[in-house]
Amino acid sequence: MLKKGSIAPDFELKATPDQNIKLKDFLGKNVILAFYPADWSPVCSDQMALYNEMLKYFTKHNAQIFGVSVDSSWCHLAFQQDRKLHFPLLADFEPKGEISKAYGVYDEEAGESKRALFVIDKEGKIAWSYLSPKGINPGADGILDALEELK
């Protein structure tokens, strides 16, 4: 897993079936990457709902959050609409897990992303990272602490 001080690997992933997001387009802004195993799972649903509630706090820190899993953009779109999420979910779908692997958080055995958090600073360096147990919602405290340190 990439650690504090590492350069965040750039990527371009689908946010919707017809919209791509590039990490490099967010230089000058703090970025939160929330890797998670799968849409629709109970813990992932709770985790993404929490981050949806935290959006105003992330915005105060000039931060954009992205959820990232190996699910397809169509699956993300249905999940996003059902859960009324107001931040992008990125599809690390094809080649499967390529970005999760680049960040060192791909679970080869399960074929999905591990539950991991990264805060990337305005210059594109990892300011904080955390690997959570698969069945535990990591919450938002570590993210907020890392964003506070970037002030």
Active site residues per annotation: 44
**How many other C-beta atoms are found inside a 10 Å radius of the C-beta of residue 27?**
13
Q: What is the CA radius of gyration of the chain?
A: 14
CA 16, CA 90: separation in Å to the nearest integer?
A: 8
Polymer length in residues for the chain:
151
Measured from the Cβ of residue 38, the count of other Cβ atoms closer than 10 Å reads 16
Cis peptide before 42 (omega within 30 of 0): no
**Burial call 70-82: b when 16+ CB within 10 Å, e when fewer:** bbbbebbbebbee
Distance of alpha carbon 11 from alpha carbon 20, whole angstroms:
10
